Structure 1
Amino acid sequence: MEDIEIAQENEANKIQTITAVAGDIGLDPTDIEQYGPYKAKITTSALERLRQRPQGKLVLVTAINPTPAGEGKSTVAVGLADAMHRKGQKAVLALREPSLGPVMGMKGGATGGGYAQVVPMADINLHFTGDMHALTSAVNTLAALIDNHLQQGNALHIDPRRIQWKRVLDINDRALRHVTVGLGGPTSGVPREDGFDITVASELMAVLCLAEDLGDLKERIARIVIAYTYGREPVTVEMLGVTGAITMLLKDAIKPNLVQTLEHTPVLIHGGPFANIAHGCNSVVATRTALALGDIAITEAGFGADLGAEKFLDIKAPVLGKTPDAAVVVATLRALKYNGGVALKDLQTSNLDAIRTGFANLERHIHNLQRYGLPVVVAINAFATDDPAETQLVQDLCADQGVKAVPATVWADGGAGGVELAEAVTEALSATEPFKPLYPQEMPVEDKIQTVVQGIYGGRDVEYARKAQLALKTIKANGWDRLPICIAKTQYSFSDDPKLLGAPTDFTIHVSDIIPKIGAGFLVVMTGTVLTMPGLPKHPAANDIDIDAQGHITGLF
């Protein structure tokens, strides 16, 4: 049975009203703004009240480097929350919002799978409460205002060749990566080169996810650098005079969305930056709210721990004011074998030698998280075809590292399949080792990059293209060099080469550009060939999606 069929079957019989879900975590009907019977946003007044509450424990769910076979990180996060809920623990889950790019492309949605899902599944993966549309509109409104400023005399002396702000679309569309705008004569604008990013790669998405409230959102938007003058001085949204208008478009999008799992565990889904081209974490507002509403808040960070988890710990945690109390690393036997050199078509065949070889990938992620001082639990996302001997080998190899590895059957069994994992995580939460940041903020930019490359990726050197070298000079001249770094890198490898699997060492990371995101508060370090506007695959998921005359959706995942 497909994920959407499981969701539809259970939604029809078991889904609770959102007022009931809210009531279970102490929220009154006046604390939520309903979007139909099963979705809601939490009101500003409720968010302000909840900020005064003590925070619960925080569990960060991450994973090994993803493979084409898929690892099920969100599924495990949902199953873990359901398992804790079953055990009588007050758990609240905080996840990212899906983007239509992966939904219509190849990765799929972000609501879990099988019997460990968030519902209403189709609504969440499509338009949900309109946050993505609000962000897209806000980004494109700002782009239109920039071009209008050029048309109306360019009082700020913006150099059209140095406009940093791109338009966006929440779908993979490679044809829009590089475009020319303003053609058609004097009444149609100033001709210039431009381009589109996918919405989740925009700085405004990062700003939304790192803002603490509406006031902080406005201040961050004001700081966004949209262009440089002919004299190469930065131009901000505040200088353009449109901070209030752009913030206004996000007045509802800043509020986190409340939904539920199939087992009625409360879930906050809010914000959705990709981890390979942005910081890959759900919003500070949603995570902080989950910490206030539950004794245990469970959240996840995108792709492998070298991307989402590192950025959670070095970018999001300082803003959140809370570091994780434990980390869960999700792995599958087939992903370990893939990292051990087995072809995709042969992953179902038992191969203990490949498990041993591929374990190097998992081992590095474990050590990386431990260097921050985090207690680690490994979740083996189990499949019916798994070889028990392979599972036992992974558990033994993890035990050699002083880490407990637990099989989880949450896709097939829901929360019941995650009880042992929940017990292991609960035990890990009792550890008291202090958190150790990877680098101090005052460290020079090049040293921060080198620290991540050597300390997290296992690389040796960093090579800077001419464009990146010039960007470094601009960053230092403007005093932006104290900001944390957000490395944009392929998710498939520790290196910037997606074909270099396992745990490579002594490689060189190639930095093509460094883009200051002053509103978000970090520097994006572009490496390899990572794209901020992905393309669709030869056979996109959209080819398999359909809807009948009664509105029944098939093939969504």
Structure 2
Amino acid sequence: MKDIEIAQNAQIKPIIEIAQKVNLDSDEIEQYGPYKAKLTLPLKGEHPKTKEKLILVTAINPTPAGEGKSTVTVGLGDAFNLLNKKAMIALREPSLGPVMGIKGGATGGGYSQVIPMEDINLHFTGDMHALTAANNTLSALIDNHIFQGNALNIDQRRVIWKRVLDINDRALRHVVVGLGGVMQGIPREDGFDITVASEMMAILCLATDINDLKERISKIVIGYTFTKEPVTVGDLGVTGAISLLLKDAIKPNLVQTLAHTPAIIHGGPFANIAHGCNSIIATQTCMSLADYTITEAGFGADLGAEKFLDIKVPALGKSPDTVVIVATVRALKMHGGVAKDELEQPNVEALLKGYANLQKHLGSMQRYGVPVVVAINKFVSDTPEEIAALQAACQDDGVKAIVADVWAQGGAGALQLAEEIVSLCENEADFKPLYQVEDSIDEKITKIVTEIYGGSDVEYSLKAKKQMAQFVELGWDKLPICMAKTQYSLSDNAKALGAPKDFTIHIREFVPKLGAGFLVALTGNVLTMPGLPKKPAADGMDIDADGKLSGIY
């Protein structure tokens, strides 16, 4: 049975019943129909102090063979509740780009899903649209300011704020606006990013409340004057107008798993071109309502987990008590050189060769001083010999690898993994950040490249070098670094699978995101507006006369 069919046949409970499981009163939720709700901020009721244990789920570098990070996260939440542990999960909202493109949604799979699956993967509660509107309203206000006399002396050639759209659309990567005559504005080059790569999304996910949201929005650098001085939203005088468009989007969304575990889904930045973590408000809310919060960071540990630990943790004020790295036998065989159409064949040799990718992520996560466990997301084609070989390899590196059969069994397939995590969470974590904010930009990037990616050197373009010098003058060099890099490889070459050695990471330019509070380093040829594949998933989607959807996965 397909994921969407499992979700459509599931028994779904009214969201008020899910809220009551974590002691939320009816006046603490705002219902969006019977099965979705937003939470009021701040929560009004009495909520006893919880254990506040935080579990971060990450993965190896993704392959077309599939890893199932969200599926394992959902299954773990259900497993914890089967063990009578008060648990919630905190996920990111899916972007329409992957849903309509090639990757699919982000609601888990099989019997380990969040529901209503179709709504979550499409418009949900409108957060993505609100972010898109806020972002593009700012763009309109910038162009209007320039057209109406340009009191701030903005150099239209140095406007760095881009418009956004939450769909993959390569035709919009580079555009010219203001064409058509005097009354159509001032012509200038522009471009579109995908909404989930925008600074507005990052701000929503890193803000702690509405006041922090406003403060961060006011700090957004939209461009530079003719004398190369930065211009902010605060300078433009439109902080309030942009902030009010996000008054509902800042509220976290409550839904449920197939097993009725409460789940908060809020914010959706990509981990390859943004910081890849759900909102601080969502994570904090879960920790205030449950003893165990299980959350995920996008793509591999080199991207999502590193950014969770070096960007989100300082803002959250809480480091994970355990890190779970999801791997599959299939994906490791692909990292070991096996073609996708041959993955069903047993191949322990290729598995152990591909294990180098998992091994690198294990070492990277262990250096943070947090307990680590491997979740082997089980596929039907996995053989006992392959699983045993993988477990033995992990054991040699001092880490347990436990099978999680959550796609087929839901939470029941992750009970052993959940028990191990409960035990690990009782250990005293000794969290050590990768770098200090006082480190130089080059020092921070070099630590990421050498210690997390396994590279040997960093090469900067002339433009990037000039930007670094400018950032030092402006005092921006003390910000964290958000690397924008291909998700498919530890390097910036998408085709270099496994664990490449002695490679160089190429930084072509930086994008300062002062509202978010970090500098984005664009590596290789990574794109902030993806394109659709030759045969997008949208080709197989439909809706019938009864309103039943098909083709979403």
TM-score range, shorter chain: over 0.9
* Aligned equivalent of 1:373, options 366, 369, 373: 369
Aligned to 1:171, the other structure's residue is in SS state: coil
Indicate yes or no: 2:314 matched with 1:302. no
The amino acid that maps onto 1:103 is V
* Aligned mate of 1:25, from 14, 22, 27: 22
Secondary structure of the corresponding residue to residue 94 of structure 1: strand
- Within-5 A mapping of 1:29-48: 29-46=26-43
Q: 1:514 deviation in Å?
A: 1.1
CA contact (8 A) 1:471 1:515 kept: no
Provide the residue aligned with 2:217 in structure 1: 221
Q: 1:126: which partner in 2? A: 122
Note the C-alpha offset of 1:253: 0.4
Separation in 2, partners of 1:470, 1:419: 53
Structure 2 residue runs without a partner (length 5+):
none
3-state SS of the aligned residue for 1:46? coil
Q: TM-score, normalised by structure 1?
A: 0.98
* Residue equivalent to 1:497: 493
How many residues were matched structurally? 553
1:233 aligns with 2:222: no
Separation in 2 of the partners of 1:425 and 1:529?
Answer: 38
Asked if the contact 1:47/1:289 (under 8 Å) is kept, the reply is no
Partners of 1:380 and 1:299 in 2: how far apart?
17
Contact persistence 1:336–1:358 (CA under 8 A): yes
- Which structure 2 residues correspond to residues 530-549 of structure 1 after superposition, within 5 A? 530-549=526-545
1:190 aligns with 2:186: yes
Distance apart, 1:54 and its partner CA: 5.1
Q: What is aligned with 2:13?
A: 16
Task: Pick which of 396-405 and 304-313 moved more.
Answer: 396-405
Contact 2:25-2:45 at 8 Å conserved across structures:
no
Query: How do residues 519-538 of structure 1 correspond to structure 2 at under 5 angstroms?
Result: 519-538=515-534
Residue 378 of structure 1: SS of its match in structure 2? Answer: strand
Aligned counterpart for 2:341 among listed residues 334, 345, 353: 345
What is the CA distance between 1:383 and its match in structure 2? Answer: 1.0
Q: What is the distance in 2 between the residues matched to 1:392 and 1:202?
A: 43
Match of 1:266 among 262, 285, 291: 262
What residue number does 1:86 align with?
82
The residue that corresponds to 2:2 in the other structure is 2
Instruction: Write the distance in 2 (CA, Å) between the matches of 1:433 and 1:35.
Output: 39
Equivalence map 1:146-545=2 (5 Å): 146-545=142-541
CA shift for structure 1 position 45: 3.2
Q: Is residue 454–residue 490 contact of structure 2 (8 Å, CA) maintained in 1?
A: yes
Instruction: Give RMSD over aligned pairs.
Output: 1.0
Please give the per-residue CA displacement for 1:211-265, whole angstroms capped at 9, x wherever unaligned.
0000000000000000100000000000000000000000000000000000000
CA change 1:225–1:53 in 2 (3 A) is: farther
Instruction: Measure the CA separation in 2 of the matches of 1:441 and 1:408.
Output: 38
- Say if 1:147 and 1:189, in contact at 8 Å, map to a contact too: yes
CA 1:519–1:376 in 2, change beyond 3 Å: closer, same or farther?
same
> What is the CA–CA distance in structure 1 between the aligned matches of 2:49 and 2:21, rounded to whole Å?
17
SS of 1:44's equivalent?
Answer: coil
Render the CA deviation track for 1:411-442: whole Å, top value 9, x for unaligned.
Answer: 01111111111111111112213101111110
The superposition leaves residues 111-149 of structure 1 with CA deviations (integer Å, 9 ceiling, x where unpaired) of 000000000000000000000000000000000000000
Counterpart CA distance in 2 for 1:517 and 1:353 is: 45
Q: 1:53 to 1:218 in 2, by over 3 A?
A: farther
Q: Does residue 62 in structure 1 map to residue 39 in structure 2?
A: no
For the residue of structure 1 that corresponds to 2:43, the secondary structure is: helix
Q: Secondary structure at the match of 2:30?
A: strand
Structure-1 separation of matches of 2:228 and 2:343: 53
Output the CA distance in 2 between the equivalents of 1:343 and 1:90. 42
Change (3 A) 1:294 1:473: same
Distance 1:359 1:497 in 2: 19
Q: What's 2:546 paired with? A: 550
SS of residue paired to 1:136:
helix
- Displacement, 1:385? 1.5
User: Following TM superposition, by how much is the alpha carbon of 1:53 offset from its aligned partner in structure 2, in angstroms?
Assistant: 4.3
How many angstroms apart in 2 are the aligned matches of 1:356 and 1:300? 26
The answer to whether the 8 Å contact 1:58/1:291 transfers is yes
Q: State how far apart, in whole Å, the 1-side matches of 2:179 and 2:50 are.
A: 56
Asked if the contact 2:60–2:361 (Cα under 8 Å) also holds between the matched residues in 1, the reply is: yes
Q: Return closer, same or farther for 1:416/1:538 CA change in 2, 3 Å cut-off.
A: same
- Measured against aligned partners, the alpha-carbon deviations of 1:167-201 in whole angstroms (never above 9, x if no partner) come to 00000000000001000111000000000000001
Letter in 2 for 1:108: G
Cα distance in 2, alignment partners of residues 397 and 47 from structure 1: 49
Q: Counterparts of 2:13 and 2:314 in 1: how far apart (Å)?
A: 36
- In structure 1, what is the Cα distance between the partners aligned to 2:458 and 2:133? 37
Structure 2 CA distance for partners of 1:340 and 1:250, relative to 1, 3 Å? same
The CA distance in 1 between the partners of 2:429 and 2:59, in whole Å, is: 22
Query: Quick one: distance in 1 between partners of 2:186 and 2:3?
Result: 48
How far the C-alpha of 1:467 sits from its partner, in A, is: 1.2
Take 1:281 and 1:195, find their aligned partners in 2: how far apart are those partners?
25
- Report percent identity of matched pairs: 65
- What's the counterpart of residue 142 of structure 1? 138
Relative distance call for 1:53 and 1:212 in structure 2 (3 A) is farther
Question: Using the alignment, how far apart are the partners of 2:316 and 2:537 within structure 1?
Answer: 35
**1: CA distance, partners of 2:381 / 2:360:** 26
**Aligned AA for 1:299?**
T
Deviation at 1:68, TM superposition (A): 1.0
Deviation per CA, 1:264-295: give whole Å up to 9, x if none: 00000000000000000000000001111100
Which residue type is aligned with residue 5 of structure 2?
Answer: E
| Alpha-carbon distance between aligned partners in 1 of 2:476 and 2:509, rounded to the nearest angstrom | 15
Structure 1 residue 331: deviation in Å? 0.3
